[in-house]
Structure 1
Amino acid sequence: MLTKKTNMKIYLVVTLTFLTSIVGFSQTSETDSISKAKIKELQFMVGNWKGTGWMMGRHGKSEFDQTERIEFKLDSTAVLIEGKGLSKGKVVHNALAILTYDKIKGNYVFRSYLPSGLNAEFKAEIIENKLYWYPTENTRYIIWQNEKEQWYETGEYKIGQNWNQFFEMTLDREK
C-alpha cells in the first residue's frame, strides 16, 4: 500500500511531467510557425531543376550539366536540396543540403553533405529575395530566380573589397 507521502510524490511527478510537456509543445508550435514563415520565403527554389553551369578552377573554366531537386520537409520547417553535376559523363558535383531557420540566432542555417562524408554548417540569409550562403568569410553563393523564372546561382570570392565571380549556374524548372 502506498503512503500519503509516496502518493504526493507521484502526483508531483505526473503534474510536472504534464506541465513540462505543455510548455515544450507551445515552444515547439511557436518555433514551427516562425520556421515555417521563414522557410516559406524559399518557395522560389522548390521543384526539380535542370541546366548548365561553369566554374573556374586550376585549369581554367570548365562547364557542366546540373540537376537540382528541392523540396520542403518536416512540415515545411526545412528545405532538402540535392544537386548533381556532370561534365563529360563524370560526376563533378554531388551534394545534399538541408536548409533550416535558427530562431535563436535569427538566421538560416545551410548544412551541406558530400559523398566523401564531409559535412559542414554555414550561415545563410535572404537579401532582396536572394538566398546568400557563406562557405567561408570570403566566399559566398547567391541563389535567386531571374526574370525568366530560372534558377540562377553565382559563386564569388572576395579579394580586398571586391567580389570576383568563379561560378555560375542557370537552371530551368522541369515540368
Structure 2
Amino acid sequence: MKSVSLLLSCCLISICTFAQMGGTDQEAKEAISKLAFIEGKWKGEGWMMGQDGQKNSFSQTEDISFKLDGTALLIEGKGMDGDRTIHNALAIVTYNKKDKSYSFQSYLANGMNGKFKAELIEDKFYWYPMGNMRYIIFLNEKGQWKEIGEMKQGENWFQFFEMTLDKQ
C-alpha cells in the first residue's frame, strides 16, 4: 500500500511540474508574429534560371500557418511544371531567444534538409541556404507574395529565381 501511495505521489508531482513548464514563450511568439504578412494560402507563378541560362516557368502554391501557440511558422510549398512536381518542401521557422535570431529548418521531398540563418529586415524575410545565396520574401505594392532568389558573385547579387503569388 505504501509503494502504491508513493508511486501516486511521484506521478502527481511529475504532472504538476510538467504542467508548470507548459507555458508559451511570449518572446518567440512576438518575434514569429512579425511574419504574419505571409500567413495563409497562396497561389501563383514563378521562374527559375536553369543551368542553360534559360528561365524555366512553374506554378507554385504555399500554405503558411502558425503552430505551437504561435511560436513556430509552418511553410509548405509545392512547385509544378504541368503535371510534374519540381519543388516540394516543408519549412519550420522558429525564433531563438538566446541568439535573438530566426531559424529556417527546411525539408525537401528528396530527403535533403538543413537548418539555415534567417532574418527580418524592414518587412522582408530573408533566409540563407548558403553563404552566397539568399531568398527574400515580401509583399509587393499589390499585396502579393513576392519572392526572389539571388546568388552573390564578388560584391554583386544576381537574381536566379522569382515568384509572385496571390492570396487565396
CA RMSD of aligned residues (A): 2.2
TM-score norm. by structure 2 comes to 0.87
Match of 1:34 in 2: 27
Structure 1, gaps ≥5 residues long: 3-9
Structure 2, gaps ≥5 residues long: none
State which of 55, 64, 67 in structure 1 corresponds to 2:61: 67
1:117 CA drift (Å): 1.7
Q: Partners of 1:156 and 1:138 in 2: how far apart?
A: 8
State which of 118, 126, 132 in structure 2 corresponds to 1:132: 126
Q: Partners of 2:164 and 2:134 in 1: how far apart?
A: 17
Q: Partners of 1:104 and 1:40 in 2: how far apart?
A: 18
**Residue 153 in 1 paired to residue 153 in 2?**
no
SS of the equivalent of 1:149 reads: coil
1:118 CA drift (Å): 1.5
State which of 49, 74, 77 in structure 2 corresponds to 1:56: 49
The ranges of structure 1 where at least 4 consecutive aligned residues each deviate by more than 3 angstroms after the TM superposition are none
Match of 2:91 in 1: 97
Match of 1:7 in 2: none
SS of the equivalent of 1:34 reads: helix
TM-score norm. by structure 1 comes to 0.83
Letter in 2 for 1:157: M
1:106 CA drift (Å): 1.2
SS of the equivalent of 1:58 reads: coil
Q: Partners of 2:111 and 2:148 in 1: how far apart?
A: 25
Q: Partners of 1:37 and 1:74 in 2: how far apart?
A: 13
Q: Partners of 1:34 and 1:146 in 2: how far apart?
A: 28
1:88 CA drift (Å): 2.5
SS of the equivalent of 2:25 reads: helix
SS of the equivalent of 2:114 reads: strand
1:159 CA drift (Å): 0.6
Equivalenced residue count is 159
1:105 CA drift (Å): 1.5
